[in-house]
Amino acid sequence: MPKFAGRAAWSAILGTLPAAQPLQGKVTADFTVIGAGFAGLSAARRLVQLNPGAKVVVLDASRVGEGGTGRNSGFMIDLPHNLASENYAGATEGLDRSLISLNRMAIGFAREAVQDYGIDANYFDPAGKINGAATENSHAQNKSYGAHLQKLGERYEMLDEQAMLGVTGSRYYLSGLYTPGTVMLQPAGYVRGLAQGLSREAVIHEESPVTAFCRQGTSWRVETSGGVVSTDKIILANNGHIESFGISRGRLMHIFLFAGMTEELSRDALRRVGGQPRWGITPSDPMGTTVRRIDTGQGGNRITVRICAEFCPDMESTEYKMRRAAKIMRRKLDERFPQLRDVRLEYIWSGPLCLSRNDVSVTGEIDNGVYAACCQNGLGTTRGTLTGIAAAECASGKSSVITEFFARQAKPPLLPPAPLAKLGATAYLNWKGWRARKE
Ligand SMILES: Cc1cc2nc3c(=O)[nH]c(=O)nc-3n(C[C@H](O)[C@H](O)[C@H](O)COP(=O)(O)OP(=O)(O)OC[C@H]3O[C@@H](n4cnc5c(N)ncnc54)[C@H](O)[C@@H]3O)c2cc1C
């Protein structure tokens, strides 16, 4: 079962949710989706689009907006975002071009949902983002990423120290590379809106952890702590926890990221910080720190920070790790905003990330009538949306450029045996983190 540490700030700042409706007793469905994050809710939306009148049931162990999806930083990025590379560029230009086109399809799908369901535009802000550089080294990474974007024919703008100060109010950054295509989500607001819109056409049961599923004649039986669904088809959209059902075991890397959000900035703190009311900075070095400023339309005038990265094969973060992360985040915030030393980090949380060594997802039909939309490799906003669409299309007997893209992907390779994998991954992450410590 997923275990989440720390309160999910994005959901908390939007106020309390109405009571959950956990699954009770026996029900039937044509399609059952396990997981109500980006992948699961996108799958459910695509299912109802393709199968009008079909009964779609979505089950989540947690609350919508409080699982992995509600714990991320909200950068729905259109461009290559390969965390293993030096500057986010992918393995080849051809791959990057097809990823950009697919990512933009995911953003288009989300935009259409925002319009159809009347989701608050503040939760889906097509504002773009900046790769911030704090050292000469990462400024060079920005320049090489810029050259890569130029070859791909993508627009970008280089910002100097003064321009970065104007946007962020921080003197920390030497330069920035602005790209216009990223949508800045209020992640909890977006998925809550998606779930609310979908609830006209699908049934969503939160606080309904799936404990098992098994074949039942020609269909499937899905068990939760309080009920059972008899269903023709299942979509697994529970990201790294697909492994907890025995699927892709030993092939997925479970990383935990840590994030924090300040209390509401007082009028005085806002005056001291300056800059613009909304912006988002990803680090030029993929292993650095993400910083974002939000405003009242998104849940308050606050700054949120995200740091890397612990290898957690047991998919849990400990109290000790949370305390350590809180100290690191405080330091990162103080380095960037010495004028805000008195501002408290009101929320500290962690969340999971599921990666494969070859940057592929676990998507498509994995057994007769069972489909997967898992392992988003760091870009769960767009990749999760895409895997959800792909799984729903496969389950509906439809093919598209999205299903074809995932069908061409290899399987995630096996990881080395557990102690070696842990040692190797931890050493690698520590080294990369150390190198990116100023970013
Ligand atoms: C701090 C942080 C910052 C991040 N920032 C970004 C970012 O800016 N941009 C970006 O693209 N990505 C970001 N990510 C990654 C992103 O959050 C994930 O890739 C994304 O959430 C994956 O979406 P998903 O729907 O596949 O899985 P999840 O969001 O993990 O959703 C899976 C759902 O399945 C449910 N579940 C699991 N097991 C069961 C079960 N047995 N029964 C029922 N339900 C179950 C869980 O409760 C959960 O709600 C970040 C991650 C973290 C932790």
Give the pLDDT confidence score for residue 311 in this predicted structure.
86
Record the tokens describing residue 374, joined without a space: 């898992």
Q: Is 433 domain-assigned?
A: no
| CA within 13 Å, CB half, 104 | 9
- Please state the domain count of the chain: 1
Q: Is 420 domain-assigned?
A: no
> Which run of H or of E encompasses 115?
helix 93-117
Q: Is 115 domain-assigned?
A: yes
> Which run of H or of E encompasses 198?
helix 187-198
Digit-by-digit pLDDT tens for the chain (439 residues) are 999 899 999 999 999 989 999 999 999 999 999 999 999 999 999 999 999 999 999 999 999 999 999 999 999 999 987 666 666 677 688 888 999 999 999 999 999 999 999 999 999 999 999 999 999 998 998 999 999 999 999 999 999 999 999 999 999 999 999 999 999 999 999 999 999 999 999 999 999 999 999 999 999 999 999 999 999 999 999 999 999 999 999 999 999 999 999 999 999 999 999 999 999 999 988 789 999 999 999 999 999 999 977 888 889 888 899 999 999 999 999 999 999 999 999 999 999 999 999 999 999 999 999 999 999 998 999 999 999 999 999 999 999 999 999 999 999 999 988 777 777 877 777 777 777 788 8
Q: Is 329 domain-assigned?
A: yes
Spatial distance between the Cα atoms of 265 and 300, rounded to a whole number of angstroms: 8
What one-character DSSP code corresponds to residue 81? -
Instruction: Pick the atom of ligand 1 nearest to 74's CA.
Output: 8
Q: Is residue 381 within 8 Å of residue 36, measured between CB atoms?
A: no
Geometric angle at alpha carbon 130, from 128 and 131, rounded to 5° = 140
Give the pLDDT confidence score for residue 439 in this predicted structure.
83
Q: Give the bridge partners for 290, in sequence order.
A: 306
Closest to 292 in 3D by CA, of 108, 127, 416, 48: 127
Is residue 409 classed as helix, strand or coil in its secondary structure? coil
Instruction: Pick the atom of ligand 1 nearest to 210's CA.
Output: 42
Give the pLDDT confidence score for residue 261 in this predicted structure.
98
Spatial distance between the Cα atoms of 361 and 359, rounded to a whole number of angstroms: 7
Closest to 235 in 3D by CA, of 250, 248, 222: 222
Ligand 1 and 60: CB distance under 6 A: yes
| Residue nearest atom 2 of ligand 1, based on CA coordinates | 72
Ligand 1 and 261: CB distance under 6 A: no
Q: Is 417 domain-assigned?
A: no
Per the structure, the complete domain to which residue 157 belongs is given by 9-407
Spatial distance between the Cα atoms of 125 and 183, rounded to a whole number of angstroms: 5
Q: Is 429 domain-assigned?
A: no
Q: Is 432 domain-assigned?
A: no
CATH assignment at residue 68: 3.50.50.60
Give the pLDDT confidence score for residue 420 in this predicted structure.
77
Give the pLDDT confidence score for residue 218 in this predicted structure.
93
Ligand 1 and 379: CB distance under 6 A: yes
Spatial distance between the Cα atoms of 439 and 436, rounded to a whole number of angstroms: 5
Other CB atoms within 10 Å distance of the CB of residue 301: 20
Q: Is 416 domain-assigned?
A: no
